[in-house]
Structure 1
Amino acid sequence: MLERGLYVATFLAAIGSGLVAGIFFAFSNFVMPALGRVAPTSGIAAMQAINVTVINPGFMLAFMGTAVLCLALALGSWLWLGEWSGKLLLLASLVYLIACIGVTMGLNVPLNDALAVLQPETAQAGQLWLRYLVDWTFWNHVRTAASALALVLFTLVLIGRSAG
């Protein structure tokens, strides 16, 4: 029963990692470049609105729900730790928790908090916006890669468990 629950949780973590990777991929590849093409006042205002709107049940379920699954899977990986699938399960969970959640909370959120207090019409805001675009997008690339890597690792665990 415990083994079946671990398998199902791994499947759900793979789905969650994939959803989050897709969201971050979209931001890295067209949302942020598009916001960088408009006037800073418009880009700042749009990103401020996005940062408020993103706190919604759908995104939070995918983003933080996957983190909760990863915590449980990191702890549950002991069940398979003697096999390569257990080591991959632990690695996948840690990649998501450290390079996706950790980067978000430690780097992207503070950048968002600093952006939230800007008045878009000021000259200083325009300068900070240009720096924000570079820094936020760089760390978003890291989150994208981490979420995608976690997806691949979780999928390898599932393939390995179903084949053996």
Structure 2
Amino acid sequence: MRGVGVTLGFASVLFSGAIFGFFYAWVCSTMWGLDAADPRIAIAAMQAMNASVRNAVFCPTFFLTPVVLFAAAVATQGRARVLFAGGGGVYLMGGLILTILVNVPMNEALAALDVPRDIDAAQTIWEAYRPRWQVFNITRTVPSGLALMLAAGGLWSLGCKAEA
């Protein structure tokens, strides 16, 4: 069972790191880039990115990260189990569920809009959308980063047991 736990531990770090990196990139580059653009372009780009993210590469990382973390918890014992389970719970609540409850409905509302030709109307839409979306993106990024740290801690604790 130790080999399964270590394998799932590595998978937990990989999945947690991928989703944390995805959310983090939105915080530190994507949204700043969109803010620097014409709001008509920012709206159209955000609509396109939100539509394109529903794909076979992103979905497993987004939806299966807590599954992999909880599986690692089941396959391990002691401190590693607590860390993997904690990471799964933190990401499930603060990443996945938060996204489904807040960011996704905001994205769907933005997707339903036609991009206005008037720059002032577009600026009004963008300013109504972006600050709240970014707050909740940062909010989901923090627990996703914590889930990554917990997964790494779980994996590290498995290695420490092997040396002890």
TM range (shorter): 0.7 to 0.9
1:138 and 2:97 correspond: no
1:155 and 2:118 correspond: no
- Distance (Å, rounded) in 1 between the aligned partners of 2:71 and 2:100: 20
Q: What residue number does 1:55 align with?
A: 54
- Distance (Å, rounded) in 1 between the aligned partners of 2:69 and 2:80: 15
Give the superposed CA RMSD.
1.9
Q: What residue number does 2:37 align with?
A: 38
Q: What residue number does 1:10 align with?
A: 9
1:89 and 2:84 correspond: yes
Q: CA deviation at 1:55?
A: 1.1
Aligned 8 A contact 2:16 2:148 in 1: yes
Identity %: 32
Aligned 8 A contact 1:51 1:112 in 2: yes
SS at match of 1:57: coil
Structure-2-length-normalised TM-score: 0.87
For structure 1, the residue ranges without an aligned partner over 5 or more in a row are none
Aligned 8 A contact 1:40 1:120 in 2: no
Q: What residue number does 1:25 align with?
A: 24
Aligned 8 A contact 1:28 1:137 in 2: yes
When residues 15 and 131 of structure 1 are mapped into structure 2, their CA distance, relative to the original with a 3 A threshold, is: same
Q: CA deviation at 1:6?
A: 2.8
When residues 20 and 120 of structure 1 are mapped into structure 2, their CA distance, relative to the original with a 3 A threshold, is: same
Question: More displaced, 120-129 or 17-26?
Answer: 120-129
Q: What residue number does 2:66 align with?
A: 67
- Distance (Å, rounded) in 2 between the aligned partners of 1:102 and 1:110: 12
For structure 2, the residue ranges without an aligned partner over 5 or more in a row are none
Q: CA deviation at 1:96?
A: 1.0
Q: What residue number does 1:103 align with?
A: 98
Q: CA deviation at 1:125?
A: 5.0
